[in-house]
Amino acid sequence: MDALEDLSTQRAGLEEDIKKLESKIVDPTKIKLSKDEFLNVLKTAADKMRAGSAVEKDVLCRILLLNVRVDNEKVVSYHWREPFATLVETTEIVSGGGGWS
């Protein structure tokens, strides 16, 4: 009987989680990272990619990236999520070429 009560409690918790996720689907602004979450991701990203498990790396990549593409020559291109895309864009350095006048 305890197992049945445990499963019933788990079901109620999962249904609550589903409702929260459905509200995020309806209102995508709820998905955005807060300032503290953003700064925490930036601080811990390098360590998680070096020493994290495959699951931790997957979660981190889902937070940081919209899409990763590998072409026929095995060249990878990244499409960053905001606000990381803006951060990467502002840190790019032009060294010669068309950027100079």
Total domains in the fold of the chain: 2
pLDDT at 15: 92
**Residue that the structure tokens 């109620």 belong to:** 12
Q: Which domain holds residue 11?
A: 1-28
- Given phi > 0 = left and psi -120 to 50 = alpha, else beta, which region is 74? left
pTM of the model: 0.40
Give domain status of residue 1, yes or no: yes
The pLDDT, as a whole number, for residue 53 is 86
One domain, residues 53 and 82: yes
Q: Which of 65, 69, 37 is nearest to 49 (CA)?
A: 65
Residue 68 lies in a domain: yes
Q: Are 78 and 61 in contact (CB under 8 A)?
A: no
Say if residue 61 is in the same domain as residue 73.
yes
| Cβ–Cβ < 8 Å for 70, 76 | yes
Residues 52, 23, single domain; the answer is no
- Whether residues 15 and 50 share a domain: the answer is no
Q: Between 14 and 73, name the one with better pLDDT.
A: 14
Is the pLDDT at 75 greater than 60? The verdict is yes
pLDDT at 23 over 70: yes
**What whole-number distance in Å separates Cα of residue 52 and Cα of residue 56?**
6
Q: Residue 11: what pLDDT? A: 92
Assess if residue 99 is contained within a domain.
Answer: no
Residues 45 and 18 in one domain: no
Task: For residues 41 and 19, state if they share a domain.
Answer: no
80 sits in which H/E element: strand 76-80
Statement: residue 88 has pLDDT above 80: no
